[in-house]
Structure 1
């Protein structure tokens, strides 16, 4: 069944200092479910326009940083209400340009608003001065805004991973220049402009473009902080570009998150099996914190695989994103589809068994779009590319392990450490979780199902620098400013 959405073509432009700025050229964004359909157009921002946006943000910062926290929160709450009012239109646009099923697009808005509302609720207390009275006098610790933030968001969760930066940056008194991904620029731009409508000109700016614009945002001396979500390889270039001016950075990067199933896990728990399937294939497997490799204790391995296939075939329905029966849509772009397909083909050549999962609802649409049928990969080696590389698509390897020491080693030898999950009796799972190198470990759930925006999120090793969400996700957009008022002004060990 194919459900046709509104076919209106959307055009977005750079938004600089409160004004739309035309560009000399534009790029088309296709619908991944039907690449012949153009969803909209976005501009090719020039390096000079990027500089203008940075300068506008720098100019606006001088006034914006002086506003009260109450004013900042009030403006952000008004923006939240506008996003809620426009949610259906945003969801339809996001689904068309990204390929997310409608329920998944609504889920992204849900997570975005949940974080924005948490940030509004907590900002006043988190950013309040700390006043310490002590024997030596008084010390005030204030949390001052950093300045101009360059925010670069990815295509997999373009709205959530833009608002995760916009909300705390502005609440802390900073200004921002946002660069959405060219693979999903439209809905993120619309949301950014809705927020911008409640703030003074120059506080929020939106630019587009490729490497030259990215280099300008990450190297310009007026930019004082970089907030980036994306691949580890790109982050290495960002770090180099930022090194000349020693910028503050929050980097949420790649992950090859493991799900570990202990001997105590009940393979007959249908709800748990459904949770792990969703943890592998939500958003077609294109989430940084998705469970990308599965380790199962050998004593339950065969039965686990059997029950997993049953659960996957019940939940996975591949089809048009606007079909309410669809649970898995297309891969976002042809490049990513080719990469994931290459990993699966490589695994087969190495002797792995590849099992297709789920039901294809519309064979014609499937063959027309950037679709891949989800697959389970068995009998592969623990060091095959499909296991050690981040697939970021609808495939997952499942491997047996014999003891906890072995699986801890397999988990921790990865260059990544974003999230992980351990499944089984709670006490046993927590004991094992403490030995894993990961920013977040979830017990008996994984991925978005275990996300709590009240607590910090980020990774070990090459999965990133710093944390987002929670109070830490607000404070990361501030600098601590210590003001000392000592009682003893003349130190006894310094001579007259």
Structure 2
């Protein structure tokens, strides 16, 4: 990939950082540098925010049909440039190329096309007379310039999840991708520039200080972030100074409740695939499996056997089930959790980093853990799953809820009533029954408690990028 693919995109042009500073980009499949990206400072952030602010009046005045056309054309462009996008994404993340092209890119394109349609279907209250002689109308209007910060686990997907609803609602955007995986976002901006007015979508690459400058900029009226709980807390505190609106999709630590009447073969097959997909670097990954004590030992043996056959590999390895952990710091975090396991915990399978270049780690299953253990309370965000027994339905729900996060959960049972009871009792934003991890553009994706607030995807996600105005005639 040419270095120009990793320039900032401000006001419709590709530009380096004003200071000339750069960040090295490391290929996680080799551990070696593969390129550089701009290290943007306050001047770059200011230029991007001013450009977005100048473009806002024109873009917010376009019709929904015009915004729809632009989003559809961007979706088509992503399909045409699938190979270039895969190269950008894979080199930054190390994920299997075939899985990105087969699973992620079609879903990314679908999100753009969904919000293209949703732009023309904003819900609103009917005009009516709520007091004599006066008619009330409710308008939904764009918020303004949106600052968006996206993570390294699904760089292009998370960028589109943020950008698509913001643009559909008539906002302009300054996007800061992760410092380790900016390439696909930079390419997205270049492709979108052919179909958007200058300044509508801007990308500034950089580190945490770049993100802090973006959050603090006075032109930003809404901050949307997908990231860690720590990052969300810091951003929320900074945004409060200027009363900016917030959209926070933070960490997950998803519980999976497997009851004795579940289809165990199906549960093992699905969960062993979903738990280790993308090396477990997914905020909804099935990381804490809670199993009815009566079937715990059999399930654990079956699941561990299947997990042992989930193999990491290089991006072009057709037999790889997942790639490396995305960066050295995250591999160290995963290793630290495993190295600090208490004596009562047992690694059933895996447990080691691979002795090869890059940041590869075995699919790992840990049993014997207790509810207060660090590995249970913390989000691992790697190819590691814990398995715990429960005695009854109420204990299963208590254990599932007894962590700070609340993004997603799943319940595995043939009992419809039990599934419905669990779906009410689980304190998460998403509950799956006899499946896990599936997202669709039409349904909201967001959490509660330390997993944040606000929803990606769906009409709910679109409405998050609007503000209500009451007009009385």
Normalised to the residue count of structure 1, the TM-score between the two structures is: 0.91
Aligned to 2:84: 89
CA contact (8 A) 1:180 1:207 kept: yes
| 1:154 is aligned to 2:151 | yes
Cα pair distance change 1:378/1:215, threshold 3 Å: same
CA contact (8 A) 2:146 2:171 kept: yes
CA contact (8 A) 1:313 1:359 kept: no
Q: Please give the alpha-carbon distance, in whole angstroms, between the structure 2 residues aligned to 1:105 and 1:40.
A: 21
CA contact (8 A) 2:67 2:119 kept: no
Once the two structures are TM-superposed, the CA of residue 11 in structure 1 deviates from its matched residue by 4.8
Aligned to 2:304: 309
Q: 2:191 aligns with which of 179, 194, 201?
A: 194
Once the two structures are TM-superposed, the CA of residue 21 in structure 1 deviates from its matched residue by 1.6
Q: How does 1:118-157 map to 2 (within 5 A)?
A: 118-126=114-122, 130-134=125-129, 136=131, 137-157=134-154
Aligned to 1:225: 222
The secondary structure found in structure 1 opposite 2:291 is strand
| 1:436 is aligned to 2:411 | no
Cα pair distance change 1:10/1:284, threshold 3 Å: farther
CA contact (8 A) 1:313 1:358 kept: no
The secondary structure found in structure 2 opposite 1:33 is coil
For residues 405-431 of structure 1, the C-alpha deviation after alignment (integer angstroms, 9 at most, x for no partner) is 212111222111000001111412222
Q: Please give the alpha-carbon distance, in whole angstroms, between the structure 2 residues aligned to 1:335 and 1:297.
A: 35
Once the two structures are TM-superposed, the CA of residue 118 in structure 1 deviates from its matched residue by 1.0
Cα pair distance change 1:93/1:337, threshold 3 Å: same
CA contact (8 A) 2:98 2:316 kept: no
Q: Please give the alpha-carbon distance, in whole angstroms, between the structure 2 residues aligned to 1:477 and 1:326.
A: 38
Once the two structures are TM-superposed, the CA of residue 433 in structure 1 deviates from its matched residue by 2.1
Aligned to 2:446: 458
Q: Please give the alpha-carbon distance, in whole angstroms, between the structure 2 residues aligned to 1:358 and 1:9.
A: 37
Q: Please give the alpha-carbon distance, in whole angstroms, between the structure 2 residues aligned to 1:112 and 1:408.
A: 33
Q: 2:93 aligns with which of 60, 80, 98?
A: 98
Once the two structures are TM-superposed, the CA of residue 108 in structure 1 deviates from its matched residue by 2.0
Cα pair distance change 1:344/1:358, threshold 3 Å: closer
Note the aligned Cα RMSD (angstroms): 1.8
Aligned to 2:269: 274
Once the two structures are TM-superposed, the CA of residue 404 in structure 1 deviates from its matched residue by 1.5
Aligned to 2:292: 297
For residues 434-454 of structure 1, the C-alpha deviation after alignment (integer angstroms, 9 at most, x for no partner) is 11100000001112xx22221
Q: 2:326 aligns with which of 309, 326, 332?
A: 332
Unaligned runs of 5+ in 2: none
Q: Please give the alpha-carbon distance, in whole angstroms, between the structure 2 residues aligned to 1:372 and 1:22.
A: 35
My pick for the range that moved more, 136-145 or 181-190, is 136-145
The secondary structure found in structure 2 opposite 1:178 is strand
| 1:319 is aligned to 2:313 | yes
Q: 1:468 aligns with which of 437, 448, 456?
A: 456
Q: 2:346 aligns with which of 350, 353, 356?
A: 353
Q: Please give the alpha-carbon distance, in whole angstroms, between the structure 2 residues aligned to 1:252 and 1:116.
A: 19
Once the two structures are TM-superposed, the CA of residue 8 in structure 1 deviates from its matched residue by 6.8
Aligned to 2:234: 237
Q: How many matched pairs?
A: 467
Aligned to 1:493: none
| 1:373 is aligned to 2:373 | no
Aligned to 1:31: 27
Once the two structures are TM-superposed, the CA of residue 228 in structure 1 deviates from its matched residue by 0.5
Larger radius of gyration: 1
Q: 2:210 aligns with which of 184, 208, 213?
A: 213
For residues 248-294 of structure 1, the C-alpha deviation after alignment (integer angstroms, 9 at most, x for no partner) is 11100011110010121132x2x331111122100000001111111
For residues 294-329 of structure 1, the C-alpha deviation after alignment (integer angstroms, 9 at most, x for no partner) is 100000101101221232234x12211211111121
Q: Please give the alpha-carbon distance, in whole angstroms, between the structure 2 residues aligned to 1:215 and 1:93.
A: 25
Cα pair distance change 1:142/1:301, threshold 3 Å: same
For residues 332-388 of structure 1, the C-alpha deviation after alignment (integer angstroms, 9 at most, x for no partner) is 0011001101111211x423111234999xx7xx51111111110011212111111
Q: Please give the alpha-carbon distance, in whole angstroms, between the structure 1 residues aligned to 2:120 and 2:181.
A: 33
Q: How does 1:368-407 map to 2 (within 5 A)?
A: 368-407=357-396
Q: 2:262 aligns with which of 265, 272, 277?
A: 265
Q: Where in structure 1 do 4 or more consecutive aligned residues deviate above 3 Å?
A: 7-11, 134-137, 357-360
CA contact (8 A) 2:444 2:455 kept: yes
